[in-house]
A and B are shown apart, each in its own frame.
Chain A
Amino acid sequence: MNYVKDMREKLNIEYVKSELIKTAYGGKETFLASLHPRTLIIWYLFFGIVPWFIHNKIVLSCFLVLMVVLTIMARVSPLIIVILCVGLLGEIGFLLLVSLVFGGGLASLIPMFWLTVKLAVIALASIAVFTSMDPERFSDALLSFGVPGQASFSVSFGYRILPTLVEEFQRVFLSYRLRGKAPETHGIFYWRTASYYLKLLVLSFYPLILNSAKRSRTTVEALETKGFSYSFTNSEVKKMKLAHLTYTYKDPLFLIGTVAYISFAFWLGTFLVDAE
């Protein structure tokens, strides 16, 4: 009982909100954060795609080691790590269940393990990169790659309204609670209480979406009066927006280091396989 209460106090919406904001805008002192966002995106394009096509266990293991190191260096929020682990374990468990139902044995666990390693490499790469690059830098990097201004702006704006949305969600949720009726008993394993809260969580999204739709009218109008569309007609504006992004010696260093490590991993992979 006390344990449940303790969990409830720690895992409230406030905590989730502050972790989300910290993940998005915090942690600016790390090595990865000091890189040019273009460098990070190019780096990420490799580690987001290539691992899907690699089946060599040694190479994958080397990649995983690199990702773990980078994730630690990026000082990722524990909440994100927990969500990732729950996701990966849940997935492995679910696949195992499916394979058992369809007559597979425990032997299927091994290939599934390697699939999970692959997923973990990609997921950790994403986390390390996006924790180290606040939405503003990410948005500017997109702009510098030639993505249309509206699209890159929507990334930054999406993050800007996130805290506002979370707060409003809290209040709508509370509206349901202040007029609702909680189950009188918790039920076995708290199932009644849990299903009551889950139902409210889902219901709260509808008013939230309607309210946001109404509010976005002002935002769109305000953007027009703030000369937002005018900025696309002037190439100088783009230069000014991107002027604060600069390359340092760290960028080539990071890319060369990564290439060296990848080469080493592939060499080690083929060498050990040959040795077998």
Chain B
Amino acid sequence: MLPNPLVQLTNVTFTYPGADRPVLKDINVTIYEGEFTAIIGGNGSGKSTLCKTFNGLIPQFYVGDFEGEVVLNTMKTSEHTVAQLSRNIGYVYQDFENQLVRPTVIDDVSFVPLNYGLADYRQRGEWALNITGLSALRNEFIWQLSGGQMHLLALAGALAMKPKLLIIDEPIAQLDPNHAKQVYDILKKLNNEFGITIIVIEHHTEFIADYCKEVILMDQGELVWKKDVKEALSQVRELLHRNIFPPQVTQAAYALLEKDSQDSLLPIRMDEAIKHFSTYIQRKVPLPPFRPTCMTENREVIRFNHVSLEYRTLKKERKRVLYEVDTSFYQGDLVALVGNNGAGKSSLLKLIAGIVKPSDGQVVVLGKTTREASPEVLSETVSYIYQSPEEMFIDDSIRKDIEYYLRVRKIPDYELIVDKLLVDFNLVDIQHQDGRLLSGGQQRRASLAIGAAMNPAVILLDEPTANLDVATKQQVIQMLGKLQNHVQTVIVATHDMQLVAEWANRIIVMNSGSIISDGSRYDIFGNEDVMRKAGLVPPQILQLSRKLCLEPPCFTIDEFTSRLDTVEAEGVQLELCKGYA
């Protein structure tokens, strides 16, 4: 027996006023009760727009040209208000911090049931806090929460009604791997134990493989298909064509396929992959060239001399964020700063930029002690790129934003420098637009160009790939490559292990305010203890190659596929490593 349909869309087409083409084109789809569905598609493919038709936000809130019919749980959305429809739908936004409207945690989480006049609103709030693990924070003010906690609270707020359907727009975009897993475990529990239907808009296909049951593919306003997760992620060629990247193990399996067996099902999860690849033969290849741990031969650019940092909280307690950090950065270093949320990565960057001064010890940047130099003076050698590009847009077009630094310093012929940067960072066509109105990827490129315009010796980036789809992320990694030609040292704070594995030549691992490890990708990813302690999860292809005993392990899919073969005679049969069984 088929489960009951929960949402049914029939011939839905929607065009924003003034737009020349529809954002949703003739969509027909049914979501059944109990589904756990991922919606995938590039930026601007209509994923969020689609979800906003379910609770009537489109066309009631966003007025436009709407055709077709949406039925939610036997209610036609055209005949009910958004508020009536929302009784059964919880919605967590991508910019979730803007959906927290009450001052304290318990008030915010009970807000929805209170609005619907449910007498047990308090208990419902408590229940939702309990499910999301926030009960201890009940009486906190929301501006004291961390980003991850705010996200969980937004989720709890959407849950308090025990809705039939929960929609989450990019649930793990800004989280470290452990917190990301925690969020998905909660969603899985809600789906299994409470029967809540879940729809996520998600770029991380590895999480889709592990948790979701169905996948909907959107492209330029069209719903291309809805398939079972294994079948969906096995469409490697089609997905890559649309700039969506299936799990690394699936991509590797696809690359090694015989040409005639294109449409078979591929492994999408780690356990499946191990089974799949254990029939392969390892080719004998020369070891990849050894990369030096760090460039100590080179000139020292930044020096941390026993640096500690403390600040005072609202309750006047002292909180230590960095403790006895003692290290140097050299010319040519491409440093990835990794560690869980709150490990002190951002604080380290801010110390170099002179935004905060050390409580103890010294930071010296190219001979200047940051304690004595104002941020304005340090900006001539260091440029700091914020995590959210919007806060870097201080003028009304990105061209003016890029030239601001040069203009106030009256650099001769600065227009020429700006012209070149606009070409380098692929911004020529949009140079006169306001940065706030650009897409995520464009904003990120603009912020990199702003940093490069300062012609710094050191460039610091805080989470440069957060909130980007994979295709845009690849562009940013390319742009980071371009930055290398402009600067001496690049330091990136990130959770993105793929970026770390493919780009960095030096990795520094931080944990509760201290550096716990510092070395090449072989040193760091090879050290299980450090990885576990810092809550790091290596890229999937690296995990796989280690589980298959490939020595040295592979960091990219290309490396992996070039080492395996099906029929090579003089190879070694792959075996599962005992340690991982």
Contact = CB atoms under 8 A, between A and B. Distances in A.
Contact of B375 (A135, A167, A178, A204): A178
Interface in B130-144: 141-143
Interface in A171-219: 171-172, 174-182, 203-204, 206-207, 210-211, 214-216, 218-219
Most chain-B Cβ atoms within 10 A of its Cβ — which of A18, A156, A175, A215? A175
B436 A214 contact: yes
B57 interface: yes
A92 B386 CA distance: 45
Interface in A210-259: 210-211, 214-216, 218-219, 221-231, 234, 236-237, 240-241
A228 B115 contact: yes
Most chain-B Cβ atoms within 10 A of its Cβ — which of A22, A135, A178, A210? A178
B55 interface: yes
A163 interface: yes
Interface stretch (B241-249, B402-410, B484-492, B534-542): B402-410
A262 B434 CA distance: 59
B115 A231 contact: yes
B500 to A, nearest CB: 26
B343 to A, nearest CB: 21
Interface in B389-444: 390-394, 404-405, 408-409, 434, 436
Most chain-A Cβ atoms within 10 A of its Cβ — which of B117, B374, B408? B117
A156 B376 CA distance: 38
A21 interface: yes
B198 to A, nearest CB: 16
Contact of A207 (B57, B100, B142, B394): B394
Contact of B103 (A160, A176, A211, A215): A160
Most chain-A Cβ atoms within 10 A of its Cβ — which of B100, B143, B353? B143
A254 B506 CA distance: 68
Contacts of B277: none
Interface string B52-91: 0001010001000000000000000000011110110101
A225 B55 contact: yes
B369 interface: no
A142 B473 CA distance: 49
A180 B103 contact: no
Contact of B102 (A21, A156, A163): A156
Interface string B343-366: 000000000010100000000000
A181 B111 contact: no
Interface residues of A, number: 52
B106 to A, nearest CB: 12
A229 B83 contact: yes
Contacts of B100: 160
Nearest to B122: A240
Contacts of A164: 97, 143
B190 interface: no
Interface in A1-60: 18, 21-22, 25
Contacts of A135: 103
B38 interface: no
Interface in B115-133: 115-117, 119, 121
Q: Which 8 A-B pairs have the closest CB atoms?
A: A230-B83, A222-B99, A227-B115, A231-B115, A218-B98, A163-B143, A182-B376, A179-B405
Interface of B: 55, 57, 61, 81-84, 86-87, 89, 91, 93, 95, 97-103, 107, 111-112, 114-117, 119, 121, 141-143, 157, 314, 353, 355, 374-377, 379, 383-384, 386, 390-394, 404-405, 408-409, 434, 436, 450, 454
Given A160-B101, A234-B116, 14 more contacts: A171-B391, A179-B394, A207-B391, A211-B390, A214-B436, A219-B98, A219-B101, A222-B93, A224-B61, A224-B86, A225-B91, A230-B116, A231-B115, A236-B117
